[in-house]
Amino acid sequence: MKIGEKIKQLRTQRGITQETLANHLGISFQAVSKWENGTALPDITLVPALSAYFGVSADELLGLRDDVDEAELAEYTTQYWQLIGKNRKEATELCRKVLEKYPRNYQWMRDLAFCLMPSDTDDKENWSKVDFDEGLALCERILDECADNRIRDWTRWMLCKRYGDAGKREKAIELAKKMPSLWQTQEWLLEMALDGEERIVQWQQNLDTAIDWCTSILSSLSDNSYTNYSWQDKIHCYEAQIALMNILYQGEENSLFANHIYMSRYVEMARMCAGSKGMEYFNASKTMEYLLKAEAAARRYDDWYYSVRKPYKSIFLNKSEYVHGDVPEKGEVGMMMVPILHMRIKSEPCFDSMKNVPEFTALMARLVVSE
């Protein structure tokens, strides 16, 4: 497709008139008309402005972008999301395969970079500095060349985190300061743009996201060595998370997110109280109290694990619903919480102090039977 045809296609897709485009570029609408009719070409100096205006790369505008089979890319995307949480190596190989065929596809460059740069909480078994550096270079290339703001923003987010992991704090800070503030995000702006029922739904979705964010911050405060919290302070952080969720979810029992958080935090509090016998904070009764609450949350999670979606019951969230996107077939274990809870307790040496407690023995027996 010639550049004039591409300009016309992009302009009409976005409902932009020739006059509007011309005014933005500081030229006459007759010039735009000549481009689109194929009787003239835009000056090369206008290509960056045209690319930025339409949100496409210069390659795409000039017709240099690879011929794209959208159905094929959609199938590759499905495969990627099936692999990324289970086998990072195979996901990496898939990204490379796609980029061999579509070497200027910035979305797949971004996905490859994500595979090559595991975070500090990801599995780093197959990670190497060479991979990490390649991922950083891909991200920097995306920011230099790509005009798609969504891909650019996602890449900036990834780079902020990975620069920090690589010890490049100043670069991470510099990049972060270029991003919009919280009050300029899509979610916040939609609250102002929408009206009626749609605005209420957006408020509730934002509240759900805010709960996730707040619990994550509280968890980071409790786990970060710089805060120098005592074990009592850490338990208070975990209890604050649960109290916040109880208020907003109103004792919600059908939320995968809520019950996953409940289980995780109760296990952490149990760890704090278990310690080892002879230490001042060992408390067998408190340990059991938290472990039993963790069990209850894990079982609530698993009770509706195979449901695709369920509406929230809380008045603060009842216009939205939790969508469980990757639902396994009946009988598949997947990410069910009871087996995970059993594994976590069994793998923690601190719970050795509980082995002679009858309630603890009974709990472990129940968890094994449930598996």
Residue 305, SS3 per DSSP: coil
Q: Which of 209, 216, 201, 232 is closest to 311 using CA atoms?
A: 201
- Would the pLDDT of 166 be above 80? no
Q: Residue 73 belongs to what H/E stretch? A: helix 70-83
Question: pLDDT tens digits for 36-57?
Answer: 898 898 888 888 888 888 877 7
Note the pLDDT of residue 84.
81
Nearest to 150 by CA among 56, 14, 9: 56
Residues in the chain: 371
pLDDT surpasses 50 at 280: yes
The more confident residue out of 358 and 311 is: 358
Q: 276 and 352 in contact (C-beta within 8 Å)?
A: yes
Tell me what pLDDT residue 278 has. 46
- Enumerate domains of the chain plus CATH numbers: 3-61 (1.10.260.40), 70-179 (1.25.40.10), 188-370 (no CATH)
In percent, the amount of the chain with pLDDT more than 90 equals 22
Cα 163 from Cα 170, distance rounded (Å): 8
**Residue 53: per-residue pLDDT:** 82
Per-residue pLDDT averaged across 9-23, rounded?
87
Highest mean pLDDT (candidates 66-70, 84-88, 218-222, 292-296): 292-296
For 112-163, write each residue's pLDDT tens digit: 999 998 765 455 555 678 888 899 999 988 888 777 788 888 899 888 888 8
Would you give the DSSP letter of residue 311?
A: E
d(CA 316, CA 75): 37
